Amino acid sequence: MNARPSDRLAIAVAQLNATVGDVAGNAEKVRRARAQAAAQGADLVVFPELFISGYPPEDLVLKPAFQANCRGAVEALARETAGEGPALLVGMPWVENEKLYNAVALLDGGTIAALRFKVDLPNYGVFDEKRVFAQGPLPGPVNFRGVRLGLPICEDIWGEEIVECLAETGAEFLIVPNGSPYWRQKGDVRLNIAVARVSEQGIPMIYANLVGGQDELVFDGVSFGLRADCSLAFQLAAFQEAVVTTQWARRGATWVCENGPKISAVEADHADYAACVLGLRDYVNKNGFKGVVLGLSGGVDSALCATMAVDALGAERVRCIMLPYKYTAQESLVDAAACAKALGVGYEILPIAPAVEGLEKALAQTFAGKPRDVTEENLQSRARGTILMAISNKFNLMVVTTGNKSEMSVGYATLYGDMNGGFNPIKDLYKLEVFRLARLRNSWKPDGALGPSGLVIPENILTRPPSAELRPDQKDEDSLPPYSALDPILERLVEREEPVATIVAAGFDPETVKRVERMLNLAEYKRRQAAPGVKVTLKNFGRDRRYPITNRFRDVGVPLPAPDVSLVTGAPVKTEAFDF
């Protein structure tokens, strides 16, 4: 164990990408980071929340075998700290007195020198930690080489009580392991919360966040440090792994960071795009696919998805298929080919007429006397979906689904057709945002992207009216309100949960709002069967917004009545559970 005066600390932040369930692989990442931090002269290496198990482990963490595996990995790492090299601060699940905790362990001198358990378990939005973890007691600081470290875990700093308790019991430094997922403007929210805690107690803080994709969630990193005066001590890059050692010195009654990088955060549309790419990359790679296949229609959604796939995986791992029918415009054929060429992907054309006509022939007797309608239109989409899934099976390529949030909101998609696939990088982007990110990508490429620079999505794709091309001269606006009206209404209904009357009062057409609200509710059964996709907004379909499929409530658009408090004459009724 290194011996250093307690007036100086070299603390490394290991902003790394864990994989849920890969306990051995995550532990090996800890070892490699420790070696890297040792070369940088670190005394302590800080890892994100639940790094050993991966985050969020969901119900996997309830399996006794998994719990034992995590504990065994931590005990092995603890023994390895007996010799030279820095101590470790590692997040993992921990069973104590038959209770399961979200814990952080200080590994030093060959032992598990201290354990602390998460107190404030989030149970909202994408989080349901109360389902699996027990609440820890209010913590005191941990003594590390003469320095009293407060170790609140993620949500523990979102309120005042836990940090206040640490300060009152002598903590002189806050180190916060986090698994804080990305959504738009989340970085500002995190920083404001951290500044509030530091300001209240006058204690510096290191905020170590996870990076990487886990199913719908993307963790963006952007780990940072704050001095006791709330000034920024350091900040790491977004969406990238890093092991960075910062030097801290005791100056009077507080600690001051003497060095550290200050990398500007990626923001707004740039961050959304980077999140979609990282989420797709990790979903494909962590689940063992050789690459991806998608239908390239000549429209903006599939063009953006193809571009994201190339940026995530490289052109050699992306296969694009044009699946034309008699309603496919020549412009679409030209634009799809141009996009594929610009991206450098494998590209082929597979006409679907034989498949569609075969299905219609098989159904001819059953459909005799019935007029043609959306049923026949959907046969085209389902033929495309079946062909893409066959290619997926044959070549072990995951099908990328290309529907946007506007379409998924109102059910403008075909089950077992264009909804087929394994993952959707643009699932949480409204149509207008898809156009915006496509234009952005033509003028900018994110750090680490594997695709080409420059114009990769043909300008004609960005200016043509959107169409599913399932009937002659079809336009999306034949079936939907214009996206300029639809998307703002959806954002108010989905992200903000605003009543219809409130949206109408904001100036939107009443009949359009009621129509959109009805379509949103009726499409729940489709969304329940949709592929997962990257979360970038405050409330995505899936982990965030969980509505019942069978649901008769409709917001009819009348102003909400004020509650009649005069009717509440007693205390809340307490009910006893029946023993069935």
Quick one: CA dihedral 39, 44, 49, 53, positive or negative? positive
Catalytic one of 29, 118, 431, 535: 118
Q: Does residue 446 have a cis bond before it (omega within 30 degrees)?
A: no
**Closest Cα to residue 513, out of 558, 551, 474?**
558
**Closest Cα to residue 140, out of 109, 112, 164?**
164
Catalytic one of 29, 129, 154, 339: 154
**409: how many CB neighbours lie within 10 A of its CB?**
24
Residue 191 token pair: 């920083």
Phi-psi group of 366: left, alpha or beta (phi > 0 → left; psi -120 to 50 → alpha; rest → beta): alpha
**388: how many CB neighbours lie within 10 A of its CB?**
25
Strands 397-399 and 291-295, by their bridges, are parallel
Half-sphere exposure of 422 (CA within 13 A, CB side): 25
Instruction: State residue 257 phi and psi, 5-degree precision.
Output: -85, 125
Phi-psi group of 56: left, alpha or beta (phi > 0 → left; psi -120 to 50 → alpha; rest → beta): beta
Strand order in the sheet with 147-150: 142-144, 147-150, 173-178, 205-209, 224-226, 232-235
Is 514 labeled as catalytic in the residue annotation?
no
Is 357 labeled as catalytic in the residue annotation?
no
- Segment (H or E) for 164: helix 161-168
Cα gap 424→411, rounded to integer Å: 16
Instruction: State residue 157 phi and psi, 5-degree precision.
Output: -95, 0
Report the first-to-last Cα separation within the chain, whole angstroms.
58
Q: Are 281 and 314 in contact (CB under 8 A)?
A: no
Query: Residue 36 corresponds to which amino acid?
Result: Q
Cα gap 317→473, rounded to integer Å: 34
**Closest Cα to residue 320, out of 334, 330, 309?**
309
Is 433 labeled as catalytic in the residue annotation?
no
- Segment (H or E) for 437: helix 431-443
Catalytic one of 29, 49, 70, 276: 49
Cα gap 318→275, rounded to integer Å: 19
Helix (H, G, I), strand (E, B) or coil at 211: strand
Instruction: State residue 102 phi and psi, 5-degree precision.
Output: -85, 110
Quick one: CA dihedral 449, 455, 460, 462, positive or negative? positive
- For the chain, the C-alpha Rg in angstroms (whole number) is 27
Q: Are 52 and 27 in contact (CB under 8 A)?
A: yes
Query: Residue 556 corresponds to which amino acid?
Result: V
Catalytic residue IDs: 49, 118, 154
